[in-house]
Chains A and B, each alone.
Chain A
């Protein structure tokens, strides 16, 4: 078998051609089969076998079914490339559509409908319509799906022959797979009108036959029944019928059954809650499954249910404890759920378990569990005492990454008044934390706490003083910003101790510091303090803003029940809308392109699936820049400061674009570089200028951020006002430069 994928000398196209046409091969079916298998293997590996098209078609006229299958497989792969030669195959295909063997009829029909060439459609039409009424169920199944394939290329045929009505009639077919196919096809064809219509007759008929269907059919029917609105008695009957599906071993069937039950009872409050309890059983079975992906998906759904009924898993919380070999994404999800199902009865056990994870070998797991403890404090006030004590205890362990994360979490928790009693305990531990903190976020959190609550801690000014003395070694801008604010706040409370160091700090930040943000903040504070100290105190110590709602995490808001069992639960509502929008755009583009004879393949950039894309830039006539224009640095600075208003333009750039390339490209378009920061820094900043043929002068600052693939341009221009704003033209030019 390994030899199928070995590259041998006889993979040469010419050799294969000769072999195919040799009479010895044509007469011996085994040899022919082997040769075809060889060709298919090469095709699978990616070699282009399209030149053999005519030769292979000739071998289609055979009675050996294995050979036929191979030939048809080849044909459906290459027919679009060789559309002019595809017509040669039509006769054989049509003949096979009336073959006595139903397997061959089905095969031929499937191949004909899979070849997406509009010119073949007129031949396929008749075979398709005959196939819909074939005596063999196998052929009927293929014919029904074939209708959908043809509808994608030539919808007029489907509407012309009233195929939709025929398919509705075929719902009464004896073969259940044919019925399932009809349902799927009708749902898709009628999508612009809201999908297939499930009226009372159809609903009752499907429910009565439910046990005969395959698991995939059952899952489809249960999904479609969401469209049917039953009366109350009918609803109870339906619920009894689908009760058996809840425990089905196929998770798709059981999740569709859960969805339907929840949908049917959504207006009956007490029964709705009972249903919630009933569905926890099957859901928890899936959570403990050995398949990690299945467990993750069921956890996302459990998270969805917990929002509506928070005490659903109060006793079953142990199922959410992490197993040793669980992959990290699964462990993270379980920890999230543990913080959601916490209640007064189980808080002790859950907190014990989470604290065990806090000292785990994996840093990200430890951070996640600490954050989870913080979440319990935020959202479950009754359980918060124990969690706060645990967090403070963790501080005393003096482990670097744990201390940073705890401080970051505590920063958010003290915004709630009820946790104010713990402030002094925390502040006592701070002096010991100073030396072990290695993470800049942790340091920033500690500095913030000192600034805000430092009045009770006697050492606080001296801690800050140490940090200020070493500020030249500090790299993180976040730490510096927090240091400025914290020192100023502490100065208002303990002026005598802090005055000198505040002065030193501000001086350093304004004079020596390179970073614009740090310098700006320092100079603003300096001017405020200079003007009016009381006013400054009021502004800087202004009451903290109210606690913001968290960003929408997946499953944070309660989706409509319709989403249960679908991918949107995993991605979250906002991201899912984006993905769907993109799919619809691609579909309409494809429909437009199908009007040409050859279909081009659309590339989907999967790397960008979860990020936001700008629209594609269109190549148009652009402004041209003069190539002999120069400005001195002083002139540039003069013009920059004189022009106060600037426009901000944002662009998305490919992730492979480097700073050097960007500069090069602008230079190629006669845009001159004034100054740049170091090429390796991220974000990279640079100043450019240019003058175009209509005497407009452009000055701009470009900030390139590699890790989010964005470029921001702050543009100032000079020149006479004209009918079209030069900004638009400039934007087009930049679009081309940055995205070509």
Chain B
């Protein structure tokens, strides 16, 4: 593998000038054989959908296979394509509950294990609007994006009318499109915190009660970043922060916690030193912007296989901050 890296290093820059960074063409120059890391593929489950249309569910590590060169076609090679819609939320909520700032940065990534490079047609929601500027008013559940950027290889001739993208995916992972949205969203923010702070001057204590409410339609589950059974909380001296970990919250439910803070030299101004709450979470199967892939079709005249198409939606928190004072 060291020599594969050396090979790459010889070809990409020459005397400091970058030559070629496209993986398609670079593959021809790398002569070392790749060492494949075989991951264990767990069998997928079959989940029942509406009207008896079953859809299959595969574990999230399914996409982490190596892309093997076409000259090493294995018998177990499956023709699959994985599409991820990943959104990152940046939200800032003031102490009075006002939302100061709310933005979504989203991107759609495609990882193709298909032989050759057939044309793929992706259909997005028909009611997408692209309007640069401030928040959308009177949305009617429309999806209004502030900005959208496409990959070079995406053909946009049918995008304006039918919102259909045509792309010939190169092997490996690439970003089909990236978009940005700010202001009001079609659905409400996923988490709301109701804080209550009580001061007890005699004992030199603050009691902070937090109720965390999850406003997502109930069939979705939320998993926060971390291990641990159920909930736990600890005080980290180095960061001067209390970390409260919750493994899962189902939608439309809430969790409460009470924290007692003892202060050595009491001063009525100490309350100002209570910092904001920052949340880190991951919400599978949910995107705040309501962007959807209506369909994904393949057009390949040379091969006659039926490929497996996997689609996944994930929302991450980039910076979700709620101020207490």
Contacts and interface: CB of A to CB of B under 8 A. Distances in A.
Contact of A290 (B32, B105, B276): B105
A361 B88 contact: no
Contact of A288 (B1, B100, B180): B180
A359 B272 contact: yes
B2 A41 contact: yes
Contact of A318 (B32, B101, B319, B321): B101
A315 B1 CA distance: 50
**In terms of DSSP, what is the predominant structure of the interface of chain B?**
mixed
A177 B19 CA distance: 7
B134 interface: yes
A352 to B, nearest CB: 8
B189 to A, nearest CB: 16
A145 B19 CA distance: 10
Interface stretch (B6-14, B164-172, B307-315): B6-14
For chain B, which range describes its interface: under 10, 10 to 19, 20 to 34, or 35 or more residues? 35 or more
Interface string B302-325: 000000000000000011110101
B22 interface: yes
Give me the 7 closest cross-chain CB pairs, A-B, nearest first: A323-B319, A324-B278, A324-B319, A216-B18, A145-B14, A318-B101, A145-B15
A4 B269 CA distance: 60
A103 B132 contact: no
**In terms of DSSP, what is the predominant structure of the interface of chain A?**
helix
For chain A, which range describes its interface: under 10, 10 to 19, 20 to 34, or 35 or more residues? 35 or more
Interface stretch (A62-70, A446-454, A669-677): A62-70
Interface string B250-290: 00000000000000000101001101101000000000000
9 contacts: A4-B2, A65-B31, A69-B6, A184-B17, A214-B20, A214-B22, A324-B321, A352-B94, A399-B269
Contacts, number: 110
B80 interface: no
B92 interface: yes
A281 interface: yes
B117 interface: no
A177 B20 contact: yes
B232 interface: no
Nearest to B178: A249
B159 interface: no
Nearest to B101: A318
A249 B176 CA distance: 11
A66 to B, nearest CB: 5
Interface in B83-115: 88, 90, 92, 94, 100-101, 103, 105
A356 B10 CA distance: 50
A491 to B, nearest CB: 35
Contacts of B276: 324, 356
A37 B103 contact: no
Nearest to A252: B18
Interface in A1-15: 1, 4
B2 A149 contact: no
A114 to B, nearest CB: 8
A398 B269 contact: yes
A216 B16 CA distance: 12
A575 interface: no
A110 interface: yes
Contact of B319 (A141, A216, A325): A325
A142 B180 contact: no
A21 interface: no
A324 B279 CA distance: 9
A142 B149 contact: no
A86 to B, nearest CB: 19
Contacts of B272: 359, 397, 399
Given A145-B15, A398-B267, A399-B272, A290 B318 contact: yes
A249 B278 contact: no
B147 interface: yes
A671 B48 CA distance: 93
B70 to A, nearest CB: 19
Contacts of B88: 290
Contacts of A397: 269, 272
A99 B250 CA distance: 67
A40 interface: yes
B151 interface: yes
Nearest to B319: A323
Contacts of A353: 100
A272 B152 CA distance: 28
A396 B272 CA distance: 11
Contacts of A66: 3, 31-32
A662 interface: no
A709 to B, nearest CB: 32
Interface string A306-333: 0000000001001001011110000000
A40 to B, nearest CB: 7
Interface of A: 1, 4, 37, 40-41, 44, 65-66, 69-70, 73, 103, 110, 141-142, 145, 148-149, 177, 180-181, 184, 214-216, 247, 249, 281, 285, 288, 290, 315, 318, 321, 323-326, 349, 352-353, 356, 359-361, 396-399
A1 B17 CA distance: 30
A69 B10 CA distance: 9
Given A69-B10, A323-B318, A359-B272, A281 B147 contact: yes
A309 to B, nearest CB: 18
Contacts of B267: 398
Contacts of B239: 361
Contacts of B32: 66
A643 to B, nearest CB: 57
A321 B101 contact: yes
B260 to A, nearest CB: 20
Given A41-B2, A321-B101, A399-B273, A249 B21 contact: no
Contact of B323 (A44, A318, A356): A356
B3 A70 contact: yes
Interface string B102-145: 01010000000000000000000000000010100000000000
A359 B273 contact: yes
Contacts of A352: 94
Contacts of A1: 1-2, 35
B100 A349 contact: yes
Given A1-B1, A40-B6, A398-B267, A149 B15 contact: yes
B29 interface: yes
A35 to B, nearest CB: 12
A216 B29 contact: no
Contacts of B94: 352
B203 interface: no
Interface string B215-241: 000000000000000000000000111
A586 to B, nearest CB: 16
Given A40-B6, A323-B319, 19 more contacts: A37-B2, A69-B3, A70-B3, A73-B10, A103-B29, A110-B10, A141-B19, A145-B15, A181-B14, A216-B18, A249-B149, A281-B147, A285-B149, A318-B100, A318-B101, A323-B318, A324-B278, A326-B319, A361-B275
A360 B325 CA distance: 12
A162 B307 CA distance: 57
B6 A73 contact: yes
Contact of B2 (A40, A324, A360): A40
B79 to A, nearest CB: 28
Nearest to A249: B149
A150 to B, nearest CB: 11
Nearest to B22: A214
Contacts of A44: 2
Contacts of A103: 29
Contacts of B319: 323-326
A666 B157 CA distance: 81
Contacts of B273: 359, 399
A278 B134 CA distance: 16
B31 A288 contact: no
Contacts of A181: 14, 17, 19
Contacts of A399: 269, 272-273
A148 B15 contact: yes
